[in-house]
Amino acid sequence: MGAGQTRREFLKVAGAGAAGAALLNTLGCKPAEWISTVASSGQEGSAQSFRSRPDLHPPVVGVNVEARDDVAPGCIFVAAKKGAGQDGPMIMDNQGRLVWFSKDRYATDFKVQAYKGEPVLTWWQGGIVAGHGEGEYVIFDSSYREVRRVRAGNGYKGDLHEFSITPKDTALLTIYNERRTDLSPIGGRSDGPVWDGIAQELDLETGEVLFEWHSLDHVGVGESYRGPEDDPEEPVDYFHINSIEVEPDGNFLIDAKGTYAVYKVDRASGEILWRLGGKKSDFEMGPGTRTVSQHDARRQEDGTITIFDNGAPPEVHDQSRGIVISLDMEAMKATLVREYTHPEKPLSTSQGNMQMLSNGNVFVGWGTEPFTSEY
């Protein structure tokens, strides 16, 4: 999910926008330095203060494992929220020290992307509604100046999970919209409220909707592992879309926490070409390939798929993990290539991400658990 942490190189310059601050600009993020694990330290629950900017109070970040020489270059990008200090997107150096911070923004999916051939910072900001978001997407240039705000098309409000800019300068984003449907396959009413998971592709220049896919048109509620809510008027989040990306063949890869499945979707028709995992998997799932409430399904250059497997809720695995899966398209079999776990065995009930780095290392954000690790 976009609510995770990322490591990227980004051009930093002196100065900042009105809502942000660029600190320690002469320090930079040196390629030979890296944070192996970021977690709450002995200063857990405290916030930072700066004489030069007394209005800034980002959370303290502790480094538990010192950098090694073989770590990847770049800074750490985190969307801090619901902790000590102020909420907001923040960039840290390899010692956990603040490089840039934009205060008082409830933000997620903070990362570096390319737009019109230039590096930009992007994030979602808005309000939280029943496990998803209703808001808009912000684009800053490399001088930390806002250059664009993007809203979902067709009158919808953009969700917090995904905002990815493609090489064609289109944007992929997720949306939640309340509808009514037959919930009897999961023990609910014959005409009950449900959140429809929507994947959308926009032309960033014109705002034109180029692609729109609705989960309820293609995935029945019977595929969900979630039951009806205690309040019959509370929509069931049966699908819980959390990532979307364009496949090399132009079709889409869509991840759904509520069905424990990853879907390959045809761009032209919207039909599901295959399911990986869940109740109707088209693949034989080899040992260790089954996921629970997973996030951030991504196709890699070698054809494998990486996933952050939460393992809960409900608590099925004893810990969350990052996994790499290979797919045999002839035998239709999924095989676990490798997995990445944390020594403290965090079990994240929501969010989380896994990023393959340029030097072959792997970066994992542990969702609701306050850890970030590189392997």
User: φ, ψ for residue 223 (rounded to 5)?
Assistant: -80, -15
Sheet containing strand 88-92, strands side by side: 6-8, 75-80, 88-92, 98-102, 20-22
Residue with tokens 């759904």: 256
Query: What's the confidence (pLDDT) of residue 299?
Result: 98
Distance CA 319, CA 307 (A): 14
Q: In sequence order, which residues have a C-beta less than 8 Å from that of residue 165 and are 6 or more positions away?
A: 113, 114, 115, 120, 122, 171, 204
pLDDT digit string, tens, across residues 202-222:
999 999 999 999 999 999 999
Q: Residue 295: name the closest of 345, 333, 240 by CA.
A: 240
Q: Kindly state the average pLDDT of the residues 106-130.
A: 94
Distance CA 159, CA 215 (A): 15
User: In which band, very low, low, confident or very high, does the pLDDT at 62 lie, cut at 50, 70 and 90?
Assistant: confident
Reading the block at residue 26, the tokens are 């002469």
Query: What's the confidence (pLDDT) of residue 3?
Result: 53
Reading the block at residue 298, the tokens are 């991504």
Sheet containing strand 333-340, strands side by side: 284-285, 333-340, 321-328, 305-309, 295-299
Reading the block at residue 30, the tokens are 């040196």
Query: What's the confidence (pLDDT) of residue 48?
Result: 85
Whether residue 178 is predicted with pLDDT greater than 80 in this model: the reply is yes
Query: What's the confidence (pLDDT) of residue 46?
Result: 84
State the DSSP string of 322-336. EEEEEEETTTTEEEE
Q: What is the CA radius of gyration of the chain?
A: 20
Query: What's the confidence (pLDDT) of residue 63?
Result: 77
Distance CA 28, CA 25 (A): 6
Query: What's the confidence (pLDDT) of residue 58?
Result: 87
Give the DSSP letter of residue 138: E
On average, the pLDDT of the chain sits at 88
Q: Kindly state the average pLDDT of the residues 57-70.
A: 79
3-state secondary structure of 294: coil
Distance CA 124, CA 126 (A): 7
Q: Residue 172: name the closest of 228, 120, 113 by CA.
A: 113
Query: What's the confidence (pLDDT) of residue 8?
Result: 59
Q: Where is pLDDT greater, at 306 or 18?
A: 306
User: In which band, very low, low, confident or very high, does the pLDDT at 300 lie, cut at 50, 70 and 90?
Assistant: very high
User: In which band, very low, low, confident or very high, does the pLDDT at 9 lie, cut at 50, 70 and 90?
Assistant: low
pLDDT digit string, tens, across residues 233-254:
999 999 999 999 999 999 999 9
- Contact indicator for 366, 346 with CB cutoff of 8 Å: yes
Q: Which helix (H) or strand (E) covers residue 108, if one does?
A: strand 107-115
User: In which band, very low, low, confident or very high, does the pLDDT at 57 lie, cut at 50, 70 and 90?
Assistant: confident
Q: Residue 130: name the closest of 308, 258, 321 by CA.
A: 258
Whether residue 24 is predicted with pLDDT greater than 80 in this model: the reply is no
Whether residue 186 is predicted with pLDDT greater than 60 in this model: the reply is yes
Query: What's the confidence (pLDDT) of residue 52?
Result: 87
Q: Return the number of other C-beta atoms located less than 10 Å from residue 234's C-beta.
A: 12
Beta bridge mates, 194: 179, 236
Whether residue 44 is predicted with pLDDT greater than 60 in this model: the reply is no
Q: Which helix (H) or strand (E) covers residue 199, if one does?
A: strand 192-203
C-alpha 121, offset from chain centre: 15
CA angle in degrees (0–180, nearest 5) for 134-320-112: 50
Query: What's the confidence (pLDDT) of residue 45?
Result: 60
Q: Kindly state the average pLDDT of the residues 136-161.
A: 97
User: φ, ψ for residue 364 (rounded to 5)?
Assistant: -125, 130
| 267-271 own/partner pairs: CB under 8 Å, 24+ apart | 267/211, 270/213, 270/217, 270/218, 271/218
Query: What's the confidence (pLDDT) of residue 182?
Result: 97
Q: Kindly state the average pLDDT of the residues 139-143.
A: 94
Q: Where is pLDDT greater, at 105 or 342?
A: 342
Q: Where is pLDDT greater, at 27 or 295?
A: 295
Q: Kindly state the average pLDDT of the residues 256-261.
A: 98
- Contact indicator for 113, 171 with CB cutoff of 8 Å: no
Report strand pairing: 333-340 vs 284-285: parallel
Whether residue 258 is predicted with pLDDT greater than 90 in this model: the reply is yes
Length of the chain: 375
Whether residue 135 is predicted with pLDDT greater than 50 in this model: the reply is yes
Query: What's the confidence (pLDDT) of residue 53?
Result: 87
Q: Where is pLDDT greater, at 19 or 247?
A: 247
Whether residue 68 is predicted with pLDDT greater than 50 in this model: the reply is yes
